[in-house]
Amino acid sequence: MRAFIFPGQGSQKVGMGSELAEASVAAREVFGEVDEALKQKLSALMRDGPDDQLTLTENAQPAIMANAIATLRVLEQDFGVKLAEKGGCVAGHSLGEYAALCAVGAFGLADTARLLKLRGQAMQAAVPLGEGTMAVLLGADIDQAKALAEAAAQGQVCEVANDNDPSQVVISGHTAAIERAVGLVKDFGIKRGMILNVSAPFHSSLMAPAAARMAEALGETPPAAFTLPIYANVTAARVDDPEEERALLVEQVTGRVRWRESVLAMRADGVESFVELGGKVLGPMVGRIDKDAQVASLVTMADLEAFAKEIA
């Protein structure tokens, strides 16, 4: 069985999607529809920058989704590889869960773009700039990260945000607490801690105001039935029911991205290969989680052509 997976924030870069847009009508149609939905020339920002504007979470979130869905549409329309025929399930990392849901028909493209724009704005507004941040812990497993976060909190918020793979965990919370945690890494047998260049403490309890806004938005635009099951971030388990998934998307704003466990759950359920669309971030993570898993990361036209030939 094959899983199609969709990257999250941090995979954006100036120039993303440009080659696909030049080569494919299918890609240009995706970028045009997203621009129209947002009443914003997001495609121009993706193509030309500036980088500091693309990195803003309210722009990065819909941009990463648009690039992933454009990659999927090119694969389907230009190379004849249909996700519903060649895939057994989908999953996405953080905002990538929305891209995954769009890919399987739970949300239309325009609605997905608007939801992610709002999600980015809500997350940014939840905590005043400078009061919260995140850090990546390298050479840390989940138990080490939990122990470190608990020790560093000292009455503030310091929580595990992303359990990415066996050697990389991200923590999130109040800036002072995260800085304390980075200073304590050696005491917990962790190789290195680095503050991330992010504008808010995503996937922590400080995001509660953003979760409330997303609950309202998803009440107005709930996911419809999807053509393939999705593995949800916060449960690392298969979901088939749209109403269950709606509730999990709200919980995801403050909850941990359990990516390592999600990959292991998919493997246990029979997934042998993972195909990342629109990025080269999740593929390496999957390889570190399970060295026996087959992995492909599709970004360029050449990537898509080679993949289509391989599975023909």
Whole-angstrom distance, CA of residue 160 vs CA of residue 147: 10
- pLDDT attached to residue 14: 94
- pLDDT attached to residue 276: 98
Q: Which residue type, as a one-letter code, is found at position 310?
A: E
- pLDDT attached to residue 178: 98
* The one catalytic residue among 11, 94, 199, 262: 94
- Structural domains in the chain, CATH included, are 2-126+206-311 (3.40.366.10), 132-198 (3.30.70.250)
pTM, two decimal places = 0.97
Q: Is 203 annotated as catalytic?
A: yes
- pLDDT attached to residue 288: 96
Q: Is 174 annotated as catalytic?
A: no
- pLDDT attached to residue 59: 94
**Is the Cβ–Cβ distance between 90 and 228 less than 8 Å?**
yes
* The one catalytic residue among 172, 203, 204, 297: 203
HSE of 95 in the Cβ direction (CA atoms, 13 Å)? Answer: 31
Report whether pLDDT(312) > 90. no
- pLDDT attached to residue 12: 87
- pLDDT attached to residue 262: 98
- The first and second tokens of residue 80, run together, are 């004849």
Mean pLDDT of 114-132: 95
